[in-house]
Structure 1
């Protein structure tokens, strides 16, 4: 039944996301993924070909979901950064998997085209806003995007020891800091 195959793939992707977020790419085990998905290891290899291909599929899906759920608005980069922060808070597996991906995959594979296309789209939107005078041109569009993405993810990228300095900062305060920081980046 085609619906069953699609449901199995969805369960494997969800279980893979949980496993990769928890253990990293190297530490993830296909037997645990299969068990969590109420499937078997053979299905992982049938649908994805390998654990590495499953990682790529999980990462592509996370990127596609983020692009869909948090589209860039180059006329409101502080709001865009805040929405990214909200997504990271609501789905902590996203920054965790991204961190594992950077640590374990940097320079070892061809870039995933979904990520390349997403970045190119964002840079083009920022360039258009810069040409229109809506955004400052003190940084080129790729640099500005890097700054915004870094600020949006700053809380999720800190060590637990550093975050103790901000014990009194609730989610609303952290979000406000992100908005203020990106706003300051854009000041003339």
Structure 2
């Protein structure tokens, strides 16, 4: 019977995702991943390379799935608040991405940003925010995204701080979600207000015209490069 390579790779990725979420990069064991997947551990090295390469693949796969499941869409400050709320909801249901990213930050730090595919995908996310807020510069969009990620990821991986600061409440998830949505909406509105004061942007149509050339070139270039790399 022919070996089902695709199924084997998926079994290993699923097992590795659980292992890295629970133990991080340093604490994860290749033999335990193989045993969970029911696959000889030599297959890991054959398909993914060394353990750090497998970790990178797990993180990249989880982030690609997240972008599909929680798209950045809409227009205006309220749309950014809505995105933050949907991202928070996703992380409450599935803590995979926050846990992986915190382990990655603790164990690899700035070395983790060297992947061209990761960089291109995050550049695309910044571009998507400039679609929602056409008056935002790329730096402002990046800062807003970092704020959203920090707020949504931290709550599910630092539950002890929430318990210490906010106490125990039956409706705590809803309270925290509302606080995040409000904070992000206000932060996004501050970007819009700053554009009005500093650059004379007076309405959404003017903001669209101001950013059209910059946004179109950035978006098309980022999407083309990402599609080519993903297809390859």
Which bin holds the TM-score, normalised by the shorter protein? 0.7 to 0.9
Match of 1:179 in 2: 181
Instruction: Please say if residues 98 and 154 of structure 2, whose CA atoms lie closer than 8 Å, have aligned partners that are also in contact.
Output: no
Q: CA deviation at 1:152?
A: 2.3
In the aligned structure 2, how far is the partner of 1:34 from the partner of 1:49?
A: 14
Instruction: Please say if residues 104 and 112 of structure 2, whose CA atoms lie closer than 8 Å, have aligned partners that are also in contact.
Output: no
The alignment covers a number of residue pairs equal to 184
Name the TM-score, length of structure 2 as normaliser: 0.71
Structure with bigger helix share is 2
| Structure 1 spans left out of the alignment, 5+ residues | none
- 2:98 counterpart of 1:95: yes
| Structure 2 spans left out of the alignment, 5+ residues | 194-232
Instruction: Please say if residues 8 and 39 of structure 2, whose CA atoms lie closer than 8 Å, have aligned partners that are also in contact.
Output: yes
In the aligned structure 1, how far is the partner of 2:74 from the partner of 2:145?
A: 10
Q: CA deviation at 1:115?
A: 2.4
When the two chains are superposed, the root-mean-square deviation of aligned CA atoms in Å is 2.2
Residues 45, 63 of structure 1: CA spacing in aligned structure 2 closer, same or farther, 3 A cutoff? same
Q: CA deviation at 1:110?
A: 5.5
Instruction: Please say if residues 80 and 132 of structure 2, whose CA atoms lie closer than 8 Å, have aligned partners that are also in contact.
Output: no
Match of 1:85 in 2: 88
In the aligned structure 1, how far is the partner of 2:113 from the partner of 2:83?
A: 28
Match of 2:43 in 1: 43
In the aligned structure 2, how far is the partner of 1:120 from the partner of 1:108?
A: 17
Q: CA deviation at 1:130?
A: 3.5
In the aligned structure 2, how far is the partner of 1:29 from the partner of 1:157?
A: 22
Task: Name which one, 1 or 2, has greater alpha-carbon Rg.
Answer: 2
Residues 157, 185 of structure 1: CA spacing in aligned structure 2 closer, same or farther, 3 A cutoff? farther
